[in-house]
Amino acid sequence: MPHQQIKSSPIASPPDVERFFAVLAAGKPDAPNLEDRPINVCAVAGGFLEQGGQIGVAVGTIDMSEEEEEQILAIALDRLHKAGYDDAHAVGEEDGLFHDFIPDSPGSLYLFIKGIATPNLQNGRTIADIAIGAYNEADKTTLVQVYCPEVKTQASREQWQAELPDILGLEIPTGD
């Protein structure tokens, strides 16, 4: 199961989503080296892609090992960087990426999101995007990834409060 996601602006002057996916799809399926094969995209998220938005893609297949996924992810990022997608980077669980296979039944997506939204309130995270991916026919589930970047926490507030006087050489009003 894909445990990570590539985040990037599909901009390589001019913005072009087709070009972004062509970079990943390039190759020969029967090439001896993994680097020369096309890369499978198994989940996609994003919006306003050619108007400055960001795309999120999970690469690999739903039945590959984490080691294989790491290899494919590294190859995909290398290709994207060579093609001019300089901001392409991987995000994982430590960055706020939640993932699971949810049942194909009414309310399943809601329950998955509900399980993420409550802890987000406590952790200073918000839902940025939801990727819906491959359907697993064997167990009738669908791959879902939810990316929740950290927005603002008490620790980040304390850090800027500590740094600001040094940057400006001024005191911050306390309101007391």
Q: Decide which of 36 and 175 is more confident.
A: 36
Q: Which two tokens stand for residue 133?
A: 């991916």
Q: Which two tokens stand for residue 155?
A: 């620790």
pLDDT over threshold 60, residue 26:
yes
Phi, psi of 16 (to 5 degrees): -155, 100
Work out the mean pLDDT of the chain and round it to a whole number. Answer: 88
Q: Confidence class of residue 165 from pLDDT cuts 50, 70 and 90? A: low
How confident is the model at residue 3, as a pLDDT?
A: 73
- Residues forming beta bridges with residue 130, ordered by sequence position: 146
Q: Express each pLDDT in 91-103 by its tens digit.
A: 999 999 999 999 9
Q: 138: which residues sit within 8 A by CB, 6+ positions away? A: none
pLDDT over threshold 60, residue 1:
no
Question: What is the rounded CA–CA span in Å between residue 68 and residue 46?
Answer: 25
Q: What pTM does this model have?
A: 0.80
pLDDT over threshold 90, residue 76:
yes
Parallel/antiparallel/unpaired status of strands 41-46 and 129-136? antiparallel
Q: Decide which of 56 and 8 is more confident.
A: 56
Mean pLDDT computed over 50-56: 89
Parallel/antiparallel/unpaired status of strands 97-103 and 129-136? unpaired
Mean pLDDT computed over 18-34: 94
How confident is the model at residue 112, as a pLDDT?
A: 96
Find where tokens 């009414």 sit: 106
Q: Confidence class of residue 176 from pLDDT cuts 50, 70 and 90? A: low
Compute the residue count for the chain. 176
Our CA dihedral for 104, 105, 107, 113, rounded to 10 degrees, sits at: -20
Q: 61: which residues sit within 8 A by CB, 6+ positions away? A: 40, 42, 134
How confident is the model at residue 13, as a pLDDT?
A: 64
H helices of 14-136, in order, are 17-25, 66-82, 108-123
